[in-house]
Structure 1
C-alpha cells in the first residue's frame, strides 16, 4: 500500500479536541460541552511570569544557520554532524526519534542544496512520507512501510534545502494528546522527563525544545501543533486550511479537511520563513510576504474558562491571565467574551468525525498488514475510537453537514473582535502513562478531556491559530497561550507573534534536558 493510500478519513496527523465523553456515553450518542468560554480577567499572577530570556550568545535559529552556510562560515555537512551529535546527547532521555536517517542526511548535506534553508537539519514527523525513510505512523501494523517518494508537503521542504535527520515520534495515527505509542515507547518532555511532551507532534516539539534542531515538521488536525508547542515551550502556528500543502495529488478528498502541515520552531521568524517556503502558489490567499511586528492595536476576546465539566488548572489560569495583562500593557483592548455556540452539539460531531477517521485507518492498516483489525496491529485507544464510530455510522452524513456549516458560525464570533485568546490546554503537561494508549479507554478519555480543551474549533473552521510560549509554571513547566483568528488571518497572527516575542523573549530558556 502506498503512502497516499495510508490516509484516514480526514487525514492523519492531528489530535482532536475532545470533551468529557466516555466510550459508553459515545455509544449512546452522548456528548459534553466545548471548553471555550469567557470569564472576567483577574489580577496577574507574577508566579507564572517567565524571566526575560533573550537568546544566549551563539544561539542560532534556522534562518541564521542557513545564512551562515550561504556565507561560507560553516557547511551543511558540519551543521548536520553537529545536530547528529546533539541528538545522540539527549535521545536516551527524551526518545523523540522513531527512525534515524543519519547516513542519508550526511549524503544529502554533501550534495548540491538550494533554497532558503539550504543545509539546515531538521526532522519529519512520522505521519508523512520522506523519500527513502520508513513511514510507520506510530503503528506496529505498518512495520516495513518505506516511502518511495516525498509527500507533497515534504517535497516543499526538500526544495527549501532542509536536510532531514529522521522521523520524529507520534502517537498511533496522531490520535491522542500524548506521544506514547506502543511501537516506540513514550516520548518525554525535556522540561520534566516524567511528563508528556503533548501530541501528536510530541517528538518534533521535544527535539526542538531540547535544542537538537531549530525547527521540526509538525501537523495539526485538532491541536497537534499547538498542544506540544505549549507543553514544550516552543512556538507553534497552525496555518489556515489550504495555505500550505496537505492532500496528495489524485488522492480522494475527505469530507472535511481538518489537518494542516507546518512546523514547531524556537523563533517566530523561522515559522514565517518556513511558511513562505511551503506556500501553495496561486492559491486562495495572497502570498504571505514579508512580516513585521504588529503596529496596529487589536480587540482581543479573552476566553479562559472551561465550561464542559473540566477544571482549569491554577497554574494555567495564572499564566493566561498574565498574558491577557501583557496584551493590555502593549496597548491592545482585551474584552471578556463568551462563544455563542452549542458546545455539546459541536463536540459530539467532532468526536464522531474523528472516530470515523480512526475506523478508516484501522481498515487500511488491516489491508496493508494482511491481518484482521485487532490488538495485534492496532492500539486499544485506536480500536476504541473505531468501535465508537461503528456504532453511529448512519449519523455521519448529518455530522459532516453540521461541521461543514460550522466555519461560517465560527467566523461570526469575530464580529467586533480581531483575535481570540485562550489557553491551549487545561493544565501543564500531565504525567507519562496517564494517557497511555493501552490504559483503560474511559480513564484515558477522562484525562484527555481535562487536558485538551480549546483547539479543535479552529481546525473545523480552517482558521489560523497559534501557541506562543509566554509563561512557565512555578515548577518550571511551559504553558502556551493560544491566539486564534479567522481563516486567512495567518499574517495577522505572525505579526502579533513577533510583537509578543520582542516583548517577552523565550529563546534563552533552557529545559532540564538540553543539547545546547
Structure 2
C-alpha cells in the first residue's frame, strides 16, 4: 500500500473550513446545508477504500433534530461513533459477536449531540466494544491513519479521527473510557477534550458501571470547534454541580502553575514524544506561565487495577451480551483482546472489592494535585502511533496487554477520577505522524484547558495534512 498522506480536502462547499466557519456561512446564506452534506458524502467516498472509517451511513436522510434547527452548528455534517444509539441505524460496537439491529430510539447523548445543529451522516468504526487502543479487528480490515496509512489512527474513536483529519467532516463524535478521545486526537493531529464526568449527559454504557469511566465529546481540527460544541451542548443540558462553561473564545490572561510530567511510572516516554512535550513546556514558559516538574500519585498498582477493571467490563459484556445486546450474541465470536481480558478478570475475581475501593479513592488523590498546580502537562501517549498490527487483537494476549500498557500510560487517570483532559497536536515525529500533548485540570475546569489550548494554537498553528 502507498504510504502517502490520504485526505479529501478539495475546492468544494466544505473547503478547508472548520465547523464554526461553516455554520457562519450557513447563517449568512452563502452555503446551503445540503451542499455541505453532498460535499462530505463525496469526500467520504474518496477516502473510504484507503482509510475505512465508516461503519453505517444515512446519506440519503441525514439525521437532524428540531431542537438543533438554527443551532450554533446548524447544517454542519458529522458522524456518530458506532457505540451510541441513533434511531434507525444499528449499533454494532465494532463486534462480530452479534447481529446488530436498528436502534428503536436515540441515546440521551445523541439527542444532546443533535441539539447543537449538527447533521449526522452515519456512524464511525471502533474496535470491539472500544476496548483496544487501535481501531483494528480480528478479521476485518483496520481503520488507517490519514497521515500515514500503514499506521494506527488510535482508538477507540479511530474512525471518527480518520474522517476529521482527512477532511471529510470538520467535527465528529467520540467518547473516552481510557483515552479514546485523546488517543486518536494525538495520533491524527486533532483536538480532543475529555470533559469532566457529568459535564455532558451520562453515557448509556458508562452509567451502568460501578465507576463511570466513559464520557462523550468530539474530535475537531480547531480549538474553537471544540469550544463551540461544548457551549452548544450546555444549552441542552447543564450540570448544576459543575461551574458553567459557556463559550470560550480565546486565551485567558491568568498566569498558571503548570506541572510537567514526562514519564509514566509504568512506561518511559520515547525521545520524539519527550522532545515535543518539553518544547511545549518551553513555549508555555515563554508565555509567562510557571512550569515545574510534578509527580503524580498514581503508580503501578493503579495500572494493575485499571486493567482489572477493564477486564471486568469485558466480563460483563460476555455475561450479559445475549440479554442486553442481541439474542444472537456468541462469546465464541469475541476477539482475542475481549476474551483475554474477560479470562484475566475471572482469574483475579477476588481482587475486585479492593480494585474498586482503590480506584474510587483515586478521585481525591487527583483533586489534591491541583492544590499545588493549576494544570498538568504530559504526553498523551508514551510513544508515537504504532504500525497497523502492533496492537491487533490477534496478538497473543499477554504480549498485547504489555504493549498497551507501554503505550497508554497517561490517559486512564482522567477516566477513573473523572477529571478533564485535552489532547493537542503539538508536534511531529520523524516519520510525519502527529505527536500530541496532554493537559489536565481540576474537576470542572474545562474553561482553563480551552483557554490554554487557544494560546498554544495561536502561538503555533497546527500542521495541516493538505499542506
Q: TM-score, normalised by structure 2?
A: 0.92
Partner of 1:409: 365
Q: What is the 5 A alignment of 1:391-402?
A: 391-402=347-358
Q: How many Å separate the matches in 1 of 2:54 and 2:399?
A: 28
Partner of 1:104: 61
Q: What is the 5 A alignment of 1:424-503?
A: 424-503=380-459
2:314 to 355, 358, 377: 358
Partner of 1:307: 265
Partner of 2:75: 119
Compute the displacement of 1:327 (Å): 1.0
Compute the displacement of 1:369 (Å): 4.5
Compute the displacement of 1:112 (Å): 9.0
Is 1:246–2:185 an aligned residue pair?
no
Q: What is the 5 A alignment of 1:322-333?
A: 322-333=279-290
Compute the displacement of 1:432 (Å): 0.2
Deviations 1:304-327 (A, max 9, x none): 02332x332111111111111111
2:190/2:220 contact within 8 Å kept: yes
1:216 to 143, 147, 172: 172
Q: What is the 5 A alignment of 1:214-363?
A: 214-248=170-204, 253-279=208-234, 280-291=237-248, 292-308=250-266, 310-341=267-298, 343-363=299-319
1:138/1:183 contact within 8 Å kept: no
Change over 3 Å in CA distance of 1:282–1:193 after alignment to 2: closer
Compute the displacement of 1:371 (Å): 5.6
Partner of 1:509: 464
1:76 to 28, 33, 42: 33
Partner of 2:119: 163
Partner of 2:52: 95
2:135/2:142 contact within 8 Å kept: yes
2:440/2:449 contact within 8 Å kept: yes
Change over 3 Å in CA distance of 1:127–1:112 after alignment to 2: closer
Q: How many Å separate the matches in 2 of 1:456 and 1:429?
A: 17
Compute the displacement of 1:278 (Å): 1.9
Q: Which has the higher contact order (CA 8 A, sep 6+)?
A: 1
Partner of 1:38: none
Q: How many Å separate the matches in 2 of 1:254 and 1:446?
A: 25
Q: How many Å separate the matches in 2 of 1:370 and 1:481?
A: 43
Range with bigger deviation, 347-356 or 425-434:
347-356
Q: How many Å separate the matches in 1 of 2:244 and 2:313?
A: 32
Deviations 1:105-158 (A, max 9, x none): 2x8599993311111100101110111111100011232321111111111122
Q: Tell me, which stretches of 5 or more residues in structure 1 are unaligned?
A: 1-56
2:99/2:329 contact within 8 Å kept: no
DSSP-derived class of the 2:60 partner:
helix
DSSP-derived class of the 1:401 partner:
helix
Range with bigger deviation, 251-260 or 433-442:
251-260
Q: How many Å separate the matches in 1 of 2:389 and 2:239?
A: 45
**How many correspondences in the alignment?**
450
Partner of 1:173: 129
Partner of 1:139: 95
1:170/1:181 contact within 8 Å kept: no
Change over 3 Å in CA distance of 1:423–1:159 after alignment to 2: same
DSSP-derived class of the 1:223 partner:
coil
Q: How many Å separate the matches in 2 of 1:398 and 1:326?
A: 42
Q: How many Å separate the matches in 1 of 2:180 and 2:32?
A: 33
Compute the displacement of 1:231 (Å): 0.5
Compute the displacement of 1:373 (Å): 4.8
2:341 to 371, 385, 410: 385
DSSP-derived class of the 1:165 partner:
strand
1:240/1:462 contact within 8 Å kept: yes
Range with bigger deviation, 203-212 or 176-185:
176-185
Q: TM-score, normalised by structure 1?
A: 0.83
Compute the displacement of 1:254 (Å): 2.3
Deviations 1:382-426 (A, max 9, x none): 011011111222322222122111100111122221111110111
1:190/1:511 contact within 8 Å kept: no
Q: How many Å separate the matches in 2 of 1:205 and 1:252?
A: 24
1:243/1:283 contact within 8 Å kept: no
Compute the displacement of 1:185 (Å): 2.2
Q: How many Å separate the matches in 2 of 1:271 and 1:112?
A: 17
Q: Tell me, which stretches of 5 or more residues in structure 2 are unaligned?
A: 1-13
